[in-house]
Amino acid sequence: MIKTIFLCFGFIGLTIILFLVAKEVYKRVPNPLLLPMVTTSTAIIVILILFQIDYETYMLGGSFINHLLGPAVVALAYPLYQQRDILKRLFVPVVFGSLTGSIVGVSTGVLLTKWFGFPKELIYSITPKSVTTPIAMDITAELDGYVALAAVFVTIAGVSGAMFGHYVQKSFYIHSTIGKGVSMGSCAHGIGTSRALENSELEGSFSSVAMVLNGIFVSFLTPVLLPLFM
């Protein structure tokens, strides 16, 4: 019992310390490749491999941090409230922008995996990659895909969007705050939204709205679009 408690608080402390160090590094060198989530996750993986610690042991403490995901998502409602007047005025274009992002997100995942000849279960697992993890896992379960793999694809989509989204936006001459927020929320869900909040509260607000709308749209669009591509 004492050993379990020690491991629990030890891994919680380790994760927090690594994140604070990664955050300080990112503050000094604000490069997208050095996002705290990426560097912290990489450091934890390296430590677990070097000391031959299995994932279940780490999650004795990591699971407590994981439970904070819910309150963190709810906290995104605050910037939405702060920017509510602008959001009401531009709600229609945001809805259509998010709808477009949802269609592109589902279709690209399906078409690319099908092009490479992946099995159906893998295609079903990557289909909801652009929505938050709980929704993606539910959609994948309904499609009889690999739920655990769906969570991996969601993480990859979020991290890559947060890391390279700025460069993609720049390449396509997307300079408006609203456009950046909607595109980030539509393709990189919560991780992308946190990245958008670093730029401005307004961009983060539109990203939050797009993230919610994207989850709704993908849930309804997946059963409609899949038969067209399969």
Q: Quick one: how far is CA 141 from the chain centroid?
A: 19
| pTM for the model | 0.79
Helices (H) and strands (E) in the chain, counts: 12, 0
Most distant pair of Cα atoms in the chain: their distance: 57
pLDDT tens readout for residues 132-169:
877 888 888 888 888 878 888 888 888 888 888 888 88
pLDDT tens readout for residues 42-73:
898 898 889 888 877 777 776 677 677 667 66
* Residue 126 structure tokens: 């990557």
Contacts of 105 (CB under 8 A, 6+ apart): 129, 130, 186, 187, 214, 218
- Spatial distance between the Cα atoms of 130 and 116, rounded to a whole number of angstroms: 20
Which ranges in 29-132 belong to alpha helices (H)? 36-50, 55-66, 69-75, 77-82, 84-89, 91-115, 120-126
Least confident segment among 82-86, 133-137, 151-155, 197-201: 82-86
pLDDT at 3: 64
> Among 191, 196, 190, which residue's Cα sits nearest to residue 212?
190
